[in-house]
């Protein structure tokens, strides 16, 4: 008898020792990586980051270097050389794919591949920053509004409405001229714009979050939390918001793509990426010219595909994260 | 779930089917959407003629009366319209395209841009007046027996009515007729003014109280002091508020002298806001209007004076312009006090507007009844306006047209997108349109000559780069900058043979343009560096500095992604960087670029001028010119410009113009870059191309012979 | 509930007032005023003429006085005359509303009809091939700019195959009336509506799917299935209602979008709708139109929010105000 008990005890001890105890974080990570699509998404993003970070060091060309071509000899001449003033010099615009230019040159005579790499830096970066800002503000405001209700809710939602009523394009034009008047260097315009976009977009996030919370706060576990007398901030932050997490993740991943697209409109308004720098948005912009659409696929298709892949990847990652965080997932 | 999906699929397919079957039966889709004609001329409006509903499935192409062939409608593609179809008030050149079909002008331009008779005639005679001065009398006559499209006869009274609308004191359209030096014009235009303007211009010593009482006048000057002080106070407040924190000598509250100094006015110590205001009045020589406009820090003087002073007051009962006289039912004379090379165009190249229609309810100072008819035009042109719906203007042939009823029964003017113009013609949806020319488009058209044909004309404008002479005052620096502009490769790559580099800042399509002008500032970075050094810049630590500051130039460009001057700026930035200087390029939206340029906040800018019909450059290069954004004034240029305006002899004028342009180039404030070609394309499958005009030039196209144009 | 609605309406009026001040400030701060914009390319305009035009357009008044006079007129329903079109602002909006409304309305209906069922389907078949395809299509839709799709679709269908018109609202050459006109316009709307639906459907679909995934793993759904209810009923009667909250939120913001139009799509297909006109007004500095139109949209936004909030209470009985 004692033998048996001892043996059982030993088994149990062994069992406990051999059990792999995972922290919650590790649990999430494990579930995330089990999701094949999420891994693919993560892989794509990493490849993009590497492409944009390291690529420029490999490319021999500058981001906005224009290439001249000698119309008589057909020989290409780079911008820094002296002979560019010659009378038979033309600019090598819309050059086809060649070994010198892997994706040809664009309508201003700049190497497309190099610009793709530099452009990615901006496009990848912009999305993340803006979404981070809008989420922080939006979730907080939406959470407070949804939780407290009443007057607080009224004020915050009215604020949201005011923000939503501001017409986008006139505002951007004003900001563009204000930035110019305050002497902001063109390269720095984009940082200001990121901040402003984040500040403008919190309104949409807040409304969605608040909507969810309105229905969640009446659930039993919230009543329980109330009964136990937990601090309000803890109630909001640790109980309500994590249950809104799926929506938040969704907003985040979709807005990252949306911001990249908005950026292409912004450059048209003069507030986006300053000339002559590249971004995927302003590279895809040229598709509006039917001449380029028809005859020069190498100029617009690569940035389009890059944007597509990036947005897809973020969406897969978002899905994976949502599944990973969800405590009710059976798998 | 399954049912929902099925319902959905059904719904979608029904929607698609409806859309596709509305094509109207089989009919080959390739080259003519025109297989769907409804009736011809009789029922062209959308409201009438429900008979046409039956014809929707009809593939037949037989026409009834009207057109001689299968097509009875000419479809013209234009850029978006504002819908202001009145030669008085239109702002957009595209609206004017429609206007030119509805209204007829007395004289027109021939392919060479010269004024020739159309349905009338103009000639000029010099006459000596009683006081010994020379007057220039223009006689304008119109053909007899013409009628408007509604049957009313056209007489010279209609022409006179047209002039009076342009000259009206409350006219706010684009025509500059009211600024012409016609005898009595100024009196008429100034016969009504806002009260404050009238009193202030009369002066403090005024004793003529026909239009206001003495009390009003005295009160005005008192009120003006108050308003003026408030005006000046606003400026002081703005200056103080706008100061940077921690500036070296901050201007204190109440320090009017300090604030005024930073605004550009020198005052004595202890000056008050009223003194400030009076100093401004002195500088502007009493011209309160311009003062208010230019120096305002928020409110205008009119605001501060209040409503009682902004009412219009009739200063005189001048109800006629002395210099415009009716001779008989078909002739009138217009007397100018000074020579004007474009006078004949101003008086005769205008549409004849029907007084019986637009003049109903018209009185001096009140143009509301005329404006009401902006969307319902009536004229004596080749076509009659029917409607403007769904972005399409519908016109029908005018049977009363003086040159004979037009052969094509209907015209539709449709809004199209610039990018689609070529495809729309090749597809058969549009018959005539004017895309921007590019080598790819020409290649595309050359490959489809059975579907479309095209002509190239010179654009009556040019592109340039301007420099603000107040911000870059050193001539050597400006010359250096000019030597860094590498124009030729950029323009030839961007336009190919469809654009050319030009050497003088004037539209090359004008007859007076010096075609033999040579390059003034070639691309030469070495020379540029020489000029910078001559200006006092030295190379220190790899930077080009003078008095401790690096040479930095800001330049503004709009829509840089599609602008031909972009490579010029790229190269310039590169070269300047290599020298140790800096070029800061601001890519801006067009409106902002415009604002900054006019506000004098840019060192350099890239812009273009549009339509020019004469060689008068006073507004751009004259010292008082309204468009002199380069802020450069030279009395010698003013003198030669005045001379040019008086020189009627063509060869003499050419010589003077060449001289003037050389002087402007020497000042290094404008670098002319390019002039491009415009293109008109025609649908070869629907139009009878033989009936197009022989010569299509900048000033003359198919719309001038619209009545003889035929479809197939 | 009624009290709540009334309270909201009253507060909305206050908000509108505040918004009007904000909008007026913005309209005035937009660089470039109307007179300088139209005289910019004209070489012959003199300074005196510009001054006269400024007076005529009321642009020589300062912003405060301008706002007060605008407010006075607006309360009486007179939103002024547009600088660009020279017609009363209200009549311009009414004139171009039908086209925009038709386009946006049809698109909205199609979007919802497509997004909701497909989103539910994708959620039910999570991780299957169906799910991946649907999600991929949705994402392609929202990750590329609308002008991209417009250009490509035009290329393929209008120019390449020639089955649909390239642009415009009706075939200019013909003179359709009645049903033929309707059919012609429908044909011209196919491409723009497709572009619209493609670019917006994706986000709704994703919201539906996400929420549905949440709901489908809930206990009450398991209970319903265990009870033996057909799957269809489980979804329709139990699961679906709980996914509606985000959709209702988005629906509320769709209302102003119905009228503000899609600027880019409208300009690519040469449809004169409110979006295109508003853009032109911004660039031209047409202050009366901008004010009138933006106030209209602001009012719709407020109504949209109210509708959403009311619908929350309808859809989810737990919601209390």
Mean pLDDT lowest for which of A71-75, B185-189, B213-217, C39-43? C39-43
Q: How far is CA A166 from the centre of its chain?
A: 24
Q: Are residues A154 and A236 in the same domain?
A: yes
> In the predicted model, is pLDDT for residue A331 greater than 50?
no
The answer to whether C16 contacts chain B (CB < 8 Å) is no
Task: Write the DSSP assignment of B191-238 as a string of letters.
Answer: TEEEHHHHHHHH-TT----SSS-HHHHHHHHHHHHHHHHHHHHHHHHH
pLDDT band at B194 (very low <50, low <70, confident <90, very high): low
Most confident stretch, A73-82, B256-265, C45-54, C182-191? C182-191
pLDDT band for B309, please (50, 70, 90 cuts).
low
Minimal CA–CA distance to B336: which of B177, B113, B190? B177
Answer yes or no: do B416 and C167 touch at CB < 8 A: yes
- Write out the two tokens for B470: 């107040």
B595 or B658, higher pLDDT:
B658
Q: Tell whether A90 and A217 lie within a shared domain.
A: no
Q: What integer pLDDT is reported at residue B699 of this predicted model?
A: 84
Strand pairing class (B392-397; B410-415):
antiparallel
Q: Does B420 touch chain C (CB under 8 A)?
A: yes
Task: Note whether A129 and A220 are same-domain residues.
Answer: yes
Taking CB atoms and an 8 Å limit, are B22 and C183 in contact across chains? yes
Residue A41 has pLDDT above 80, yes or no: yes
Cβ–Cβ gap B420/C114 under 8 Å: no
Using the predicted structure, report yes or no on whether residue B544 has a pLDDT greater than 80: yes
Could you give the strand order of the β-sheet that contains B538-540, starting from the edge strand earlier in sequence?
Answer: B538-540, B543-546, B549-550
pLDDT at B78 over 80: yes
Cα angle: B519, vertex B520, B521; to 5 degrees: 105
Residue A210: pLDDT band with limits 50, 70, 90: confident
Give the C-alpha separation, B336 to A36, whole Å.
86
Structure tokens at B451: 């579907």
**Contact criterion met (CB < 8 Å) for C42 and B616:** no
- Between B9 and A236, whose confidence is greater? A236
pLDDT of residue C289 exceeding 80, the answer is yes
Which of the listed residues A95, A110, A125 is the one where a domain comes to its end? Answer: A110
- Number of A:B CB contacts under 8 A? 100
More confident residue, B180 or C46: B180
* CB nearest A287 (choices: C11, C27, C148): C148
d(CA A204, CA A144): 15
pLDDT at residue B340 in the model: 81
A312 at interface of C, judged by CB pairs closer than 8 A: yes
pLDDT at A270: 64
Q: What percentage of chain B has pLDDT greater than the value 70? A: 82
Domain boundaries, chain C: 2-75, 93-315
Q: Are residues A211 and A83 in the same domain?
A: no
Query: What domain range is A213 assigned to?
Result: 112-325
Check pLDDT > 50 for residue B24.
no
- Assess if residue A52 is contained within a domain: no
B561 and A CB contact within 8 Å: yes
Check whether residue A100 and residue A116 sit in a common domain: no
Establish if C268 touches chain B: CB-CB under 8 angstroms: yes
A225 occurs within a structural domain: yes
Q: Highest mean pLDDT: which of B6-15, B68-77, B452-461?
A: B452-461
Query: CA-to-CA distance for A50 and B454, rounded, in angstroms?
Result: 50
The three state secondary structure string of B337-348 is: CCCCCCHHHHHH
Residue A42 falls inside a structural domain: no
Contact B82, B92 (CB under 8 A): yes
Query: Is the same domain home to A165 and A100?
Result: no
Residues A179 and A243 in one domain: yes
Residues A83 and A178 in one domain: no
Rounded distance, CA A293 to CA A261, Å? 18
Q: At what angle do helices C244-260 and A189-216 cross, to 10 degrees?
A: 130
What is the tens place of the pLDDT at every residue in C150-174? 888 888 888 777 788 888 888 877 7
- Of B388-402, B618-632, B655-669, the least confident: B618-632
Task: Name the E strands within chain A.
Answer: 67-70, 76-78, 89-91
Task: Supply the ipTM of this predicted assembly.
Answer: 0.75
Mean pLDDT across the stretch C169-190?
Answer: 83
Same-domain pairing of A83 and A221: no
Is residue A228 domain-shared with residue A305, that is, in the same domain?
yes
Peptide bond into B466 cis (omega under 30): no
What pLDDT does B64 receive?
33
- The DSSP 8-state label assigned to residue B57 in this structure reads G
Picking from A88-92, B399-403, B524-528, which range would have the lowest pLDDT averaged per residue? A88-92
Q: C93-315 domain in CATH 2.160.10.10?
A: no
For chain B, give the mean pLDDT: 79
Alpha carbon C7 to its chain centroid, in Å, reads: 27
Task: Specify whether A77 is located in the same domain as A216.
Answer: no
The answer to whether the Cβ–Cβ distance between C210 and A246 falls below 8 Å is yes
Burial class (CB in 10 A: 0-12, 13-18, 19+), B351: buried
- Which residues touch B611 (CB under 8 Å, ≥6 apart)? B93, B460, B461, C41
Touching check for B39 and chain C: CB below 8 Å? yes
Percentage of chain B lying above the pLDDT 90 cut? 19
Chain B interface includes C178 (CB < 8 A): yes
Please say if the pLDDT value at position B110 is more than 90: no
Residues B56, C50: C-beta atoms closer than 8 Å: no
Distance from C-alpha of C97 to C-alpha of C93, rounded to nearest angstrom? 6
> Which of these, C149, B173, B381, lies nearest to A287 by C-alpha position?
C149
Beta-bridge partners for B126: B136
Interval B632-655 mean pLDDT:
86
Set of chain A residues whose Cβ sits within 8 Å of the Cβ of B561: 107-108, 267, 275, 282, 285-286
A37/C contact by beta carbon, under 8 A: yes
Percent of chain A with pLDDT over 70: 93
Pick from C163, C267, C280: CB nearest B20: C163
- Given this model, what pLDDT does residue B377 score? 92
Show residues of chain A in contact with C318, CB under 8 Å.
215, 218-219
Which has more pLDDT, C111 or B625?
C111
CA distance C174 to B56: 9
A159 in a structural domain: yes
Tell me the DSSP string of B250-296. PPPTT-HHHHHHHHT----TT--HHHHHHHHHHHTTT-HHHHHHHH-
Mean of pLDDT over chain C? 81
Q: Which of A161, A285, A310 sits opposite C15 (nearest CB)?
A: A161
Which residues in chain B touch residue C50, judged by CB atoms under 8 angstroms apart?
626
Interchain proximity A90–B492, CB inside 8 Å: yes
pLDDT bin (cut points 50, 70, 90) of residue B3 is: very low
Q: Which residues contact B447 (CB under 8 A, 6 or more apart)?
A: none
Parallel, antiparallel or unpaired: strands B452-458 and B134-142: unpaired
**Hey, is the C-beta of B49 within 8 angstroms of any chain C C-beta?**
yes
Cβ contacts below 8 Å, chain B against chain C, sum to 246
Using an 8 Å Cβ cutoff, are B24 and B59 in contact? yes
- Check pLDDT > 60 for residue B31: no
Residue A211 with chain C: CB contacts under 8 Å: 245-246, 248-249, 308, 312
Q: Which long-range contacts (CB under 8 A, 24 or more apart) does A260-268 make?
A: A260/A123, A260/A126, A260/A127, A260/A307, A260/A310, A260/A311, A261/A307, A261/C143, A261/C144, A261/C145, A262/A197, A263/A122, A263/A123, A263/A126, A264/C145, A265/C145, A265/C264, A266/A172, A266/A193, A267/B561, A267/B587, A268/B559, A268/B589
pLDDT of B102 higher than 90: yes
Token pair recorded at residue C80: 């002024």
Cα separations (Å) of B93 from A135, B354, B438, B464, C41? 47, 22, 22, 21, 11
**pLDDT for B310-352, tens place per residue?**
666 676 667 788 889 899 999 999 998 888 888 888 888 989 9
**The tokens of B280 are what?**
């401004």
pLDDT of residue C240: 79
What pLDDT band is residue C304 in, cutting at 50, 70 and 90? confident
Render pLDDT for A267-290 as a digit per residue (tens, 0 to 9): 666 667 777 788 887 888 777 777
B window 217-256, beta carbon within 8 A of C: none
Which of A54, A82, A110 represents a domain boundary (last residue)?
A: A110
Partner B contacted by C160 (CB < 8 A): no
A80 touches chain B (CB under 8 A): yes
Answer yes or no: is pLDDT of C269 > 60.
yes
* B600 and chain A in contact, CB less than 8 A: no
The answer to whether residues A77 and A101 belong to one domain is yes
Res B296: pLDDT: 64
Q: How many residues does chain B have?
A: 712
Which of chain A's residues have a Cβ under 8 Å away from the Cβ of B559?
268
The predicted pLDDT at position B56 comes to 31
Domain of A152, CATH number, reads 1.10.3720.10
Number of domains in chain A: 2
Residue-wise pLDDT for A15-35, tens only, equals 777 777 777 677 778 878 877
The strand ranges marked E within B297-345 are: 312-314, 324-328, 331-336
pLDDT bucket at B433, cuts 50 / 70 / 90:
very high
Kindly state the tokens that stand for A297. Answer: 């696929």
State the angle between helix axes of C287-315 and C244-260 in degrees (0 to 180), rounded to the nearest 10.
Answer: 160
C211 pLDDT more than 90: no
Domain end (from A77, A95, A110): A110
Q: Say if the Cβ atoms of A329 and C26 lie within 8 Å.
A: no
- Classify residue A10: in a domain, yes or no: no
B589 vs A contacts (CB less than 8 Å): 173, 176, 268-270
CA C260 from chain centre, in angstroms, equals: 5
- Over the stretch B490-542, which tens digit does the pLDDT of each residue have? 888 888 888 889 999 998 888 888 888 888 888 888 899 999 999 888 888 88
């Amino acid at each position: 008898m004692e033998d048996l008990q001892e043996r059982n005890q030993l088994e149990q001890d062994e069992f406990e020792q051999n059990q792999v105890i995972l922290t919650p974080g590790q649990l999430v990570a494990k579930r995330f990586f089990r999701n094949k699509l999420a891994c693919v998404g993560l892989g794509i993003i990493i490849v993009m980051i590497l492409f944009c970070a390291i690529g420029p060091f490999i490319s021999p060309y500058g981001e906005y270097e224009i290439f001249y071509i000698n119309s008589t000899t057909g020989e290409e001449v780079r911008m820094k050389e002296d002979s560019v003033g010659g009378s038979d010099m033309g600019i090598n615009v819309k050059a086809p794919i060649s070994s010198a230019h892997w994706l040809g040159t664009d309508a201003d005579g700049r190497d497309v591949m190099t610009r793709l790499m530099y452009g990615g830096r901006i496009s990848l970066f912009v999305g993340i920053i803006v979404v981070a800002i809008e989420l922080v503000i939006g979730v907080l405001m939406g959470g407070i509004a949804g939780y407290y209700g009443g007057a607080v809710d009224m004020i915050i939602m009215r604020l949201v409405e005011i923000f939503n009523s501001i017409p986008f394009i006139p505002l951007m034009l004003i900001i563009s001229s204000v930035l110019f008047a305050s002497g902001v260097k063109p390269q720095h315009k984009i940082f200001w714009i990121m901040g402003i976009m984040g500040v403008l977009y919190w309104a949409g996030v807040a409304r969605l979050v608040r909507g969810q919370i309105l229905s969640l706060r009446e659930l039993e576990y919230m009543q329980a939390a109330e009964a136990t007398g937990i601090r309000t901030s803890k109630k909001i932050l640790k109980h309500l918001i994590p249950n809104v997490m799926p929506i938040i993740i969704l907003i985040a991943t979709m807005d990252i793509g949306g911001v990249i697209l908005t950026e292409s409109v912004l450059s048209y308004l003069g507030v986006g990426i300053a000339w002559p720098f590249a971004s995927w948005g302003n590279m895809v912009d040229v598709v509006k010219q039917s001449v380029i659409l028809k005859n020069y696929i190498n100029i617009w298709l690569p940035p389009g595909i890059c944007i597509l892949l990036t947005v897809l990847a973020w969406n897969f990652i978002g899905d994976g994260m949502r599944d990973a965080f969800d405590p009710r997932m059976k798998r | 779930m399954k049912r929902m999906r099925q319902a959905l699929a059904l719904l979608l397919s029904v929607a698609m089917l409806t859309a596709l079957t509305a094509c109207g039966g089989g009919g080959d889709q390739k080259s003519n959407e025109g297989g769907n004609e409804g009736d011809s001329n009789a029922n062209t409006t959308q409201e009438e003629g429900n008979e046409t509903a039956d014809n929707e499935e009809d593939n037949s192409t037989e026409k009834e009366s009207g057109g001689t062939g299968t097509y009875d409608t000419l479809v013209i593609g234009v850029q978006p319209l504002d819908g202001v179809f009145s030669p008085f008030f239109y702002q957009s050149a595209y609206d004017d395209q429609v206007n030119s079909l509805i209204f007829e002008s007395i004289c027109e331009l021939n392919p060479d841009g010269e004024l020739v008779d159309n349905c009338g005639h103009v000639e000029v005679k010099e006459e000596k007046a009683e006081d010994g001065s020379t007057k220039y009398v223009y006689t304008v006559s119109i053909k007899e027996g013409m009628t408007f499209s509604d049957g009313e006869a056209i007489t010279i009274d209609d022409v006179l009515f047209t002039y009076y609308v342009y000259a009206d004191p409350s006219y706010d359209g684009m025509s500059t007729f009211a600024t012409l030096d016609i005898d009595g014009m100024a009196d008429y235009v100034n016969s009504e003014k806002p009260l404050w303007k009238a009193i202030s211009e009369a002066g403090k010593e005024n004793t003529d109280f026909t239009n206001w009482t003495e009390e009003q006048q005295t009160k005005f000057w008192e009120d003006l002091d108050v308003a003026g002080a408030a005006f000046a106070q606003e400026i002081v407040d703005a200056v103080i508020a706008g100061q940077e924190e921690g500036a070296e000598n901050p201007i204190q509250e109440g320090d009017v002298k300090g604030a005024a100094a930073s605004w550009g006015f020198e005052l004595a110590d202890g000056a008050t806001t009223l003194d400030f205001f009076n100093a401004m009045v002195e500088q502007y020589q009493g011209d309160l209007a311009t003062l208010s406009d230019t120096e305002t820090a928020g409110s205008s003087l009119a605001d501060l004076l209040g409503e009682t002073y902004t009412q219009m007051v009739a200063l005189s009962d001048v109800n006629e312009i002395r210099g415009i006289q009716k001779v008989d039912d078909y002739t009138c004379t217009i007397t100018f006090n000074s020579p004007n090379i474009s006078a004949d165009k101003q008086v005769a190249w205008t549409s004849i507007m029907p007084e019986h229609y637009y003049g109903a309810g018209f009185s001096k100072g009140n143009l509301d009844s005329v404006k009401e008819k902006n969307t319902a035009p009536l004229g004596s042109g080749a076509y009659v306006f029917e409607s403007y719906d769904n972005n399409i203007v519908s016109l029908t042939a005018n049977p009363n047209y003086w040159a004979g009823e037009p052969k094509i029964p209907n015209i539709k003017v449709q809004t199209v997108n610039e990018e689609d113009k070529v495809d729309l013609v090749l597809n058969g949806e549009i018959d005539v349109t004017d895309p921007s020319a590019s080598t790819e488009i020409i290649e595309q058209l050359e490959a489809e000559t059975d579907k479309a044909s095209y002509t190239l004309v010179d654009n009556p404008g040019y592109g340039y780069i301007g420099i603000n002479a107040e911000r870059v005052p050193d001539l050597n620096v400006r010359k250096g900058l000019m030597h860094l502009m590498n124009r030729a490769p950029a323009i030839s790559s961007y336009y190919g043979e469809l654009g050319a580099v030009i050497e003088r800042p004037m539209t090359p399509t004008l007859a007076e343009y010096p075609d033999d002008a040579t390059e003034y500032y070639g691309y030469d970075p070495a020379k540029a560096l020489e000029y910078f050094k001559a200006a006092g810049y030295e190379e220190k630590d790899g930077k080009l500095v003078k008095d401790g500051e690096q040479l930095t130039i800001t330049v503004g460009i709009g829509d840089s992604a599609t602008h031909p001057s972009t490579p010029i700026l790229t190269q310039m930035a590169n070269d300047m960087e290599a020298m140790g200087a800096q070029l800061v390029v601001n890519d801006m939206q067009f409106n902002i670029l415009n604002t900054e340029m006019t506000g004098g906040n840019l060192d350099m800018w890239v812009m273009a001028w549009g339509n020019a019909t004469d060689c008068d450059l006073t507004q751009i290069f004259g010292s008082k010119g309204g468009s002199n954004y380069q802020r450069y004034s030279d009395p010698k240029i003013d003198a030669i410009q005045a001379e040019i305006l008086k020189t009627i002899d063509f060869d003499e004028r050419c010589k003077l113009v060449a001289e003037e342009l050389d002087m402007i180039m020497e000042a290094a404030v404008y670098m002319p870059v390019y002039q491009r070609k415009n293109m008109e394309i025609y649908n070869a499958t629907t139009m009878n191309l033989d009936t197009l005009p022989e010569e299509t030039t900048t000033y003359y196209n198919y719309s001038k012979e619209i009545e003889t144009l035929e479809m197939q | 509930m009624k009290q709540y609605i009334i309270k909201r309406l009253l507060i909305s009026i206050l908000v509108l007032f505040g918004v009007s001040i904000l909008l007026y400030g913005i309209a005035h701060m937009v660089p470039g005023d109307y007179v300088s914009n139209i005289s910019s390319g004209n070489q012959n305009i003199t300074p005196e003429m510009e001054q006269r035009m400024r007076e005529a357009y009321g642009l020589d008044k300062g912003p405060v006085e301008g706002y007060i006079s605008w407010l006075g007129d607006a309360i009486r329903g007179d939103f002024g005359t547009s600088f660009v079109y020279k017609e009363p602002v209200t009549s311009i909006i009414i004139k171009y509303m039908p086209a925009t409304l038709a386009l946006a309305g049809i698109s909205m209906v199609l979007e919802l009809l497509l997004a909701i069922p497909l989103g539910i389907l994708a959620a039910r078949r999570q991780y299957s091939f169906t799910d991946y395809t649907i999600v991929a299509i949705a994402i392609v839709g929202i990750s590329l700019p609308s002008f991209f799709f417009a250009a490509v679709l035009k290329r393929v269908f209008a120019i390449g195959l020639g089955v649909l018109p390239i642009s415009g609202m009706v075939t200019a050459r013909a003179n359709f009336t009645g049903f033929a006109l309707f059919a012609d316009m429908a044909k011209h709307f196919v491409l723009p509506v497709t572009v619209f639906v493609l670019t917006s459907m994706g986000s709704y679909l994703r919201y539906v799917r996400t929420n549905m995934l949440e709901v489908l793993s809930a206990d009450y759904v398991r209970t319903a299935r265990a009870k033996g209810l057909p799957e269809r009923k489980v979804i329709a009667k139990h699961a679906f209602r709980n996914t509606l909250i985000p959709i209702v939120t988005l629906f509320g913001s769709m209302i102003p979008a119905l009228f503000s139009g899609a600027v880019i799509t409208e300009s690519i297909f040469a449809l004169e709708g409110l979006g295109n006109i508003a853009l032109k007004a911004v660039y031209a500095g047409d202050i009366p139109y901008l004010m009138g139109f933006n106030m209209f949209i602001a009012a719709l936004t407020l109504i949209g929010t109210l509708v959403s909030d009311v619908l929350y209470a309808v859809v989810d009985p737990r919601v209390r105000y």
